[in-house]
Structure 1
Amino acid sequence: MLDIKWIRENAAALDKALARRASAPQAQAILQLDEKRRAHVARVQEAQERRNAASKEIGKAMAGGDAALADRLKAEVSGLKGWLSTAEDEERSLSLALESALSQLPNIPFDDVPDGADEGDNVELRKVGAPRVFDFTPREHFELGEAMGMMDFERAGRMSGARFTILSGDLARLERALGQFMLDLHTREHGYREVSVPLLVRDDAVYGTGQLPKFTEDLFHTDDGRWLIPTAEVPLTNLVREEILDAGTLPLRFTALSACFRSEAGSAGRDTRGMLRQHQFLKVEMVSITDADSSVEELERMTGCAEEVLKRLELPFRTVVLCTGDMGFGARRTHDIEVWLPGQNTYREISSCSVCGDFQARRMNARYRRDGEKALQFVHTLNGSGIAVGRCLIAVLENYQQADGSVMIPGVLRPYMGGIEKIGAKS
C-alpha cells in the first residue's frame, strides 16, 4: 500500500507512475476521499472538544446557581453526543473507503524499470549456458513422462479435473529430489532459514502481501473462510506482520518448500497440455526482510541465489528485467529467470524475484527501529522463486532427454536419487 502522505505531496508522480503501468489516473479521486475524511475527522475533534468543554461548564453553572445556563449546556452536550455517535460511524466508513481505494493502487516502479506494454518489452540482462544441440527431434515433457508411464493426466483429470498431474515412480522421486536439492542449497550456502508453513491462511495474510482484494479470482477459498496459499511468499512474509524488529537483526531470510494453489482464472486456453500451468504445484520460495537501504542490493543477491539452482543443474537460462506493463502488482522491480525448454524451442519463466519496498509492510504494519532512534520505519520486503519445482522438472526432462526416451539425471541430483544416473531407460 502506498503512503497517503506521499500521495498528497506527489499527486502528479503517482499518476505518472500509473500511466507507466497503463492504469488510469487516480490521484485526484484518492485525494478527494482523503480530504473528505480529514475534514470529517476535524469536525469530530471539534465536537469532542466542545462536548468536553460544555460538560465542565455545566458544573460551573450549577455551582453558580444558573440553572437556565446549565440546562442549555446539557441540551448542547446531549446534541453533541447524538451527533458524535453517528459521526464516528461515518468516520469509520470514510476511512474504509480510503483504505479500499489505496489497496487497489499498484506499487510505484523504479525509474530504471523499462517502460513497456507486455513481455515483449522486457529487457534481457544476461544469458547463461548454450542450448543443447540434439541429433533427434526433442520431445516435450508430457510426451516423455507419458511414454515412461510415470506422468498421468487422465487419472488426475478423473479425480480432480483439468490442470492436475499424477507423477509416480522415478518421476515422483525426481520431483522430490529437486525440492530437497533447492532447500539444501539455499539453507546451507545462501543463508536462508527453512520454514514449514501453513497452506491455509486468513484474509489478513493474503491482504498483507497484496493478493487481496485485487486478485480474489486467482485464489482458492475454503468454506470456513480461509485461503489456500498461492505461494509460500504469503506465510513467509507474514512472519513479521505487526512486529517491531531491531534493525540489527536485518536482513531476515526465509525459505520454504510448499504446495501452491492457483485458480489460473486469467489463463483459459494457455498451456493446457502438460505441467506448465497447474492448479497445484510445488515451489521453493525465498523471502527477505530488509531495511530501507538494503533492499535493492538484496534483489541482486536473491536473483543470484535463484540462478545458482539452474547453474548447478546445468540448465541454460536467461534473466530479464520486467517492463512496467508486465510487472506484478506489488513490485517496484522484478527479475524473471527463464529456462530453455528444447521441446518448445523457447525460454519459459521458472523464477520471478521482486523487490516491493515498504508496499507490503504498510499493509502488514511490519516495522523496525534503528539503534538509538525512537522513530519506527517500515521494513522492505522481497520475494522470489527459488525455484518452481514443477517447471524445473520439465526443464530437466526436456534438456536431459535421450533418443530412446530415457532421461539422464543431473549430477547434483544423483545423491538424492540413490545414485541413479538415468530414468525411463528401456530394458
Structure 2
Amino acid sequence: MKIQPVSELKTLERSVEQNTEEQRKAVLEILQNVKLEGDKALLNYTEKFDGVSQSSLEVTKEEIDEAVASLDQEMIDIISEAAANIREYHEKQKRQSWFFTREDGTMLGQKVTPLDSVGVYVPGGTAAYPSSVLMGVIPAAVAGVEEIILVSPPGKDGKLPAAVLAAASIAGVKRMFKLGGAQAIGALAYGTETVPKTDKIVGPGNIFVALAKREVFGVCDIDMIAGPSEIAVLADETGNAKYIAADLLSQAEHDPRSAAFLVTTSKDLAEKVAAEVESQLNDLPRKEIAAQAVRDYGAIYIVDSLAEGAEVINRIAPEHLEIMTKDPMSLLGKIKHAGAIFLGEYSSEPVGDYFAGSNHVLPTSGTARFSSPLNVDDFTKKSSVIRYSEQAMKENGRKISAFARLEGLEAHARAVDYRLEDK
C-alpha cells in the first residue's frame, strides 16, 4: 500500500453511476419482459444466464430439509447462534406507535405499521452467502413483516446452496425462489404467476441487480444502491500492524474496486502495515482481486493528531471503520460519518459481518454521510394520526384558512371556513 499525503485523499464516490448505457438497456429489457411475460420470462432468463433449465422456480420443502440435513450440526448451531445475536440486536431497534393529547382536546400521534411483504435478494451462483440471508430477513421479521420472500440465483445443479437454505429456514423464511439477476428484481417488483409482488426489495447484488433496483424504485421501495465494499482504520502507535493489514485485506478481497484505508498518527505503524499487507497477500487465495483493490483503491495517510484523523475519516465516510487506538471510545464522539464503527483490536470487521448481531448491509460510496445500516425501521412505515378537537378548530380555524389563502388554495380555506360557519 502507498503512503500518501492527506492532500491526495481519495473519495469513495464509486457507485453504479459507472455502469454502461448498454447494461442499463439490458436491464430495462429484462424488467419489461418480466412485467409482460411473468414466469415464462423468468424461466427463460434462468436458463440463459444461469445455465439451468427447470419447470419450477420455487424451492420445495424437500430441498430445504435436504439442505439442513446435509450440514454438520456444529455449523447449524453456529448459524442459529448468529441468528439469535442478530435478532437480539434488532429487537432493540423496534419503535412503538405513540400519541399525545393537548389541553384543547386535540389528539396527535404516529402509528407504526410493518410492511406487508418484503423481497430479500441473496447473491449466489458461484458462492454461498448465508450471512446475507440472516441480515436481510431477521430485521424484517422483527419489524413484523408477514410475508418475506427470498430469491437467489441457482447453481449449475439447479439448487440453492445448502447453507443459504439452512440459514433461511433458521430465520423463518417460508417461501424461496431459485431466481437471480435483474429478472429476480423484476419478479419481486411486479409479481408473476408464482412470485408474489413485494413492497420492498433489500439485499446486495451485481451491477445488473443494482441497476434493476434503481429502475423499480417507485414501483416498490429498495434499501440502497450498494457499491464496492470499503474499510478504513484509524490507528495510533499502539495499533497492531498484523491485525490492521488482515482487516484491510478482509474487504479488499471482495472486489477489485473495494477500498482500504489506514489513517494513522504513526509513520512507523504506516510502514509496518504497508509491509504486512504485501506479506499477507502472498498466500491469499483471492490474491489477484485483493492486490488490485489495494493498488487502485488503497492508501495510507499519516496525520498529525487523532483529531485530524477523525476529520479525515469523516471526509471518507467509510462503510466500515475500525478504531485501533489506546482509547478508542474517546474518539467515538468525533466520528460523524461511518456505516459501522468497530472499537478496539478485537473488534475485527468480520465480527460484524457474521456474528456480533449488528447488520452488515451498510451504506457505501460515501453515502454514510446521510444513510444508515439496514435496520428495523427500513421494514416499517409511519402514519401521522390527527384528531382535531372542536375547541382547537374554533381557536385556530381562521389562522388555517388564512394560511391556505396565502398559498392561493381557496378550496383548502373553505374546507375550514364551512366548519367555523356551522358552529
Please give the range of the TM-score, normalised by the shorter of the 2 chains.
Answer: under 0.3
* TM-score, length-scaled by structure 2: 0.20
- The structure having more radius of gyration, on CA atoms, is 1
Q: State the structure with bigger RCO (CA 8 A, min sep 6), 1 or 2.
A: 2
